[in-house]
Amino acid sequence: MRGGVRLGQPRPAVTDDDDPRPERGHLSRRAFLATGAVAALGLAACGDEALRGGADAAPDALDAAEDTAEDTAEDALVAADTAPDTAPDALADTAPDTTPPDTTPDTAEPPPERFAPNAVREEPGAFPYAVQSGDPTPSGVVLQTRYTGDAALTAVVFAPDDASGAGDVAWKGPAPTADGGFVHLALAGVLEPGTAYAFVFVLGDARSPVGRFKTAPAANEGDVVVFGASSCARYDLRPFDCLGWAAADELDFFALLGDTTYADDSLTLAAYRERWRENLTQPSYHALFRSTSVVAIWDDHEVENNWDPETFPADRLALARQAFEEHVAVPRDAAHPGRYWRKLSFGRALDVFVIDGRAERRKSTRGTADEQYLGHAQADWLMAELSASPAAFKVILNGVPITNWPPLYLGADDRWEGYAVQRRKILSHVADDGVTGVLWVAGDHHFAAVTHLDPPGGEFAAMNEVLVGPIAHLNPALSIIELTGSPAQFPFLSGSRNYGRFTVDLRGATPTLTVEHVDDRGIVLNTATFTP
């Protein structure tokens, strides 16, 4: 893919009086981006070892996003109005009524049920992680929360259509709680494509905070898709300010690329849950989760730093998996427990491939013909689905980068570089099969970047990757890449905290995918635009 660069674009500040979600009728961020012509290739960088540092003050965007939800009392199922007939009676007719009785059955459908969020009080204390949605499809979504009460919960999904936020109910049903109060609902085949919905959990006369999501467009629709992505949030390096800016944007989904928490050294389920609690009770996570759906994968710190699937204790891994699934709205595959690799389609614009580069790697196979960074079934699936995809762009969400880095940048055995046989097999398939519009997106390294996968003249130098994050972390080894890497391979590197905002737009003569790295002040550090 091809690209170009633009740096240092400031964004307007958000004040306490600002709603982080643009009002209807205002020029949205998405509309602004889509009407502007951006074409620039940029890069940013950061490192991998944890350093403890002082926390910056959280931006007003977080307060705005949090206050908006708290100021709005939500939920209440309002039965459809059946207003009595107030028309005056007609003048009495003295002639006898000889009209035969109407025996035709009444086939009119009853008015749809309405939900008015302002009619029920919010009880946020019962939902310490707010509410969360994940993996939107054209007809469904995953809904998730944690509930600390003991009343029965009902989940309600509705389509807001007036200024109060009320709307017709699209789906409602029981929301049973599992051990620890965790709620997980997977909806399928019940929603309309390309539609903005809101959802809540109702308990008696109270409710949870309101969350919002948008279903994916239908197969032949969807000219514009906007999503965010980031990774690596260490609790002791909070605040997580860039997530507040993401919450204020109009995103169709947000990709969590791993290290969403740091649970290293956790030995019990209670310990894993505590590490998740530290992060998910932060206002910035609440704001993000309420604003859009997540598409998540794990990396190493959800389990243990650089954990090895061949040697890691199976019982402890099971605890880490349980905690991950309890706290992040990922689909659960009953036929393949713990399988997180999957594809999501967003109309004709975008296919998203979520791959798991942690749980299936086998260090003992490195350098052999049977090399396994991804399991063989996962690798075969990825190559076949890339070839079959009709979407203009194919984004591969990858925990750890596939770029080859300068020799002095250590740790190659923990990323794709250490599995050169399988790396070459997959990238050669993309090149030889003529798959276009492929962009790799990764986190893990604690810096932002736009890269070419190989140095100039390398076999895969024409392919690109974007690194996003950290949400909150540092990487002093970034200087090694800045000093020894080729500027042609790494046109943009930055150690600033950031998230990536990606806009896929098919409305012009040539489809484009534009990525902006947005820092924790809301400033665009770099803009890069790619074409298939």
Which domains are seen in the chain, by residue range?
Answer: 5-72+219-530 (3.60.21.70), 112-209 (2.60.40.380)
Give the model's pLDDT for residue 92: 37
User: 34 — alpha (psi -120 to 50), left (phi > 0) or beta?
Assistant: alpha
Peptide bond into 176 cis (omega under 30): no
Q: Can you spell out the DSSP letters for 239-308? A: --HHHHHHHHS--SEEEE-S-SS--TT--SHHHHHHHHHHHHTSHHHHHHHHHS-EEE---STTTSTT--
Between CA 523 and CA 305 the distance in angstroms is 31
What is the 3-state secondary structure of 453-471?
Answer: CCCCCCCCCCCEEEECCCC
> Is 226 in contact with 252 (CB distance < 8 Å)?
yes
Pair 253, 294: CB distance under 8 Å: yes
User: What pTM was estimated for this model as a whole?
Assistant: 0.83
Average pLDDT, the chain: 86
Q: What is the DSSP letter of 532?
A: -
Q: How far is CA 123 from CA 71, 158, 253, 289, in A?
A: 12, 19, 26, 17
pLDDT at 47: 37
Q: Which residue type does 256 have? A: L
Render each residue's pLDDT in the chain as its tens digit; 532 residues.
655 444 444 443 333 334 443 333 333 444 444 444 333 333 333 333 333 333 344 444 444 444 444 444 344 433 334 344 443 333 334 444 455 555 555 567 788 899 999 999 999 999 999 999 999 999 999 999 999 999 999 999 999 999 999 999 999 999 999 999 999 999 999 999 999 999 999 999 999 999 999 999 999 999 999 999 999 999 999 999 999 999 999 899 999 999 999 999 999 999 999 999 999 999 999 999 999 999 999 999 999 999 999 999 999 999 999 999 999 999 999 999 999 999 999 999 999 999 999 999 999 999 999 999 999 999 999 999 999 999 999 999 999 999 999 999 999 999 999 999 999 999 999 999 999 999 999 999 999 999 999 999 999 999 999 999 999 999 999 999 999 999 999 999 999 999 999 999 999 999 999 999 999 999 999 999 999 9
Q: How far apart are CA 30 and CA 43, in angstroms?
A: 22
Beta carbons of 13 and 63 less than 8 angstroms apart: no
Do β-strands 131-134 and 114-115 pair in parallel, antiparallel, or remain unpaired?
Answer: unpaired
CA 488 from chain center: how many Å?
A: 30
Asked if residue 100 has a cis previous peptide bond (ω within 30° of 0), the answer is no
Instruction: Reduce the DSSP state of residue 224 to 3 states and report it.
Output: strand
